[in-house]
């Protein structure tokens, strides 16, 4: 049977105090005020509380709607968007319900937070063919409410991506990544055909192809002694490699990055009430559109547990900027005992003279 002893890892520090942060700011950039930092911490604390593992089912898949609810009820939403903003939220709700948009989760919020949830939900559904005409006719305050709600959601998701890994809550991190892709493209689904066509259109407008990927991973070595070092070898195969035209399109970033994915390595546990843990998190980037394979820039290494047995890992690759990129691959390694017998005290060699 596989084992569930905690695997050791060394996640990079994600939090710095104000004095340390000041040393890392680019020239000319002002240090955020303590009040600004305090408000940011209130938001990320809210997100972590909303998405933390449930004691009775810590490894469940967290649906996107739960992340949207956490965003809508975040302190910054109510702090920045006036509670009495004159937006016609009821009209948006009526239009979405007519198109069978899932809105049951919205009723878990109340007051202004519920209005923010509807405004945000509208913004990621407004590209539906059946809602485009309604969106074009929105009055200024309603359109602005929806736009600002999504801008704040984007900021909150970026903060959560930086903050949550220190807790090693794998499924919260994966849920945030999936939601980020939807919010970034203002789309409602990674699976529905209409939304997929829109995603392909967005990419084509940037001169990029829709990703066609295959994930492969294995542990090296497959058998390892207790306390020894091992690593997870990961390869992302790009079946969509190539460019359309004579020249590659301009990169979307100053670093020359065309595609960026997040790699997460999850330590799987057998006990249903023990949360799986995050062992590694790092980006995988594409700077050459003709590249057939993408590999992590840093090794995914860790120390083998002390107890002999089989240990299972799940390797995840997701995109926070392209919907539908959500791959997983399981691999394992075996910790073996030292088969060299210990020397008995009676068999010790005589002392040298």
pLDDT at 323 over 50: yes
- Whether 78 shows a pLDDT value over 70: the answer reads yes
| pLDDT tens for each residue of 264-292 | 999 999 999 999 999 999 999 999 999 99
Q: Is the pLDDT of residue 31 over 60?
A: no
The band of 30, judged by pLDDT with boundaries at 50, 70 and 90, is low
- Regarding predicted confidence, which is higher, 84 or 351? 84
DSSP H helix total and E strand total for the chain: 10, 9
As a whole number of angstroms, the distance between CA 165 and CA 142 comes to 35
pLDDT in tens, 202-219: 999 999 999 999 999 999
The mean pLDDT of 187-192, rounded to a whole number, is 97
* Chain CA centroid to CA 294, Å: 18
The residue with greater pLDDT, 346 or 338, is 338
> What is the rounded CA–CA span in Å between residue 113 and residue 120?
10
Stretch (H or E) spanning 332: strand 326-336
Calpha distance 305→2 (Å, rounded)? 12
The domains of the chain are located at 31-336
**pTM for this predicted structure:** 0.86
Q: What is the mean pLDDT of residues 239-249?
A: 93
Indicate whether 242 pLDDT > 70: yes
| Region 322-341 average pLDDT | 91
Q: What is the pLDDT, as a whole number, of residue 83? A: 82
CA-wise closest residue to 258 among 310, 312, 321: 321
Beta strand 259-267 with 309-318 is antiparallel
Euclidean distance between CA atoms 150 and 118, whole angstroms:
11
Check residue 87 and give its pLDDT.
86
> What average pLDDT does this structure show over 109-118?
96
Mean pLDDT score of the chain, rounded to an integer?
Answer: 88
* Sequence-distant (≥ 6) Cβ neighbours of residue 267 within 8 angstroms: 6, 7, 276, 277, 278, 279, 311, 312, 313
pLDDT at res. 24: 45
Q: What is the mean pLDDT of residues 33-41?
A: 79
Give 245's pLDDT tier (boundaries 50, 70, 90). confident
| Rounded-to-integer distance, Cα 106 and Cα 118, Å | 7
> If phi over 0 gives left and psi between -120 and 50 gives alpha, with beta otherwise, what is residue 100?
left
Looking at the predicted structure, is the pLDDT value of residue 9 above 90? no
The yes-or-no verdict on residue 2 having pLDDT over 70 is no
Residue 63 has pLDDT above 60, yes or no: yes
* Local confidence band at 18 (pLDDT 50, 70, 90 cut-offs): very low
- pLDDT confidence bin for 346, thresholds 50/70/90: low
The winner for highest mean pLDDT among 21-30, 272-281, 323-332 is: 323-332
Has domain 31-336 been given CATH number 2.60.40.150?
yes
pLDDT tens digit sequence for 158-184: 999 999 999 999 999 999 999 999 999
Contact 182, 156 (CB under 8 A): no
As a whole number, mean pLDDT of residues 228-250 equals: 95
pLDDT at residue 17 tops 50: no
């Amino acid at each position: 049977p596989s084992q569930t002893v905690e695997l050791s890892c060394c996640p990079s520090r994600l939090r710095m105090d104000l004095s340390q942060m000041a040393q890392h700011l680019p020239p000319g950039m002002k240090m955020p005020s303590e009040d600004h930092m305090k408000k940011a911490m209130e938001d990320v604390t809210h997100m972590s509380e909303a998405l933390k593992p449930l004691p009775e089912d810590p490894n469940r898949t967290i649906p996107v709607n739960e992340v949207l609810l956490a965003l809508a009820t975040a302190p910054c939403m109510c702090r920045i968007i006036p509670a009495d903003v004159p937006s016609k939220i009821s009209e948006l709700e009526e239009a979405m319900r007519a198109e069978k948009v899932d809105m049951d989760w919205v009723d878990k919020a109340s007051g202004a937070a519920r209005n923010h949830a509807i405004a945000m939900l509208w913004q990621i559904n407004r590209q539906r063919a059946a809602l485009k005409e309604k969106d074009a006719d929105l009055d200024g305050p309603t359109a602005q409410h929806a736009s600002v709600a999504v801008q704040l959601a984007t900021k909150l998701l970026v903060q959560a991506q930086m903050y949550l890994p220190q807790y090693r809550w794998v499924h919260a991190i994966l849920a945030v990544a999936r939601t980020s892709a939807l919010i970034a493209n203002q789309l409602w689904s990674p699976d529905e055909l209409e939304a997929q066509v829109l995603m392909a259109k967005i990419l084509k407008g940037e001169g990029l192809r829709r990703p066609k990927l295959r994930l492969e991973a294995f542990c090296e070595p497959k058998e390892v002694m207790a306390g020894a070092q091992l690593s997870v070898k990961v390869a992302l195969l790009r079946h969509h490699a190539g460019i359309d035209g004579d020249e590659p399109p301009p990169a979307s970033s100053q670093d020359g990055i065309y595609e960026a994915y997040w790699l997460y390595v999850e330590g799987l546990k057998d006990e249903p009430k023990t949360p799986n843990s995050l062992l590694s998190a790092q980006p995988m980037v594409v700077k050459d559109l003709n590249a057939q394979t993408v590999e992590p820039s840093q090794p995914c290494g860790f120390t083998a547990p002390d107890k002999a047995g089989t240990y299972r890992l799940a390797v995840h690759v997701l995109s926070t900027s392209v919907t539908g990129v959500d791959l997983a691959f399981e691999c394992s390694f075996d910790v073996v005992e030292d088969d060299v017998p210990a020397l008995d005290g009676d068999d010790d060699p005589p002392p040298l003279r």
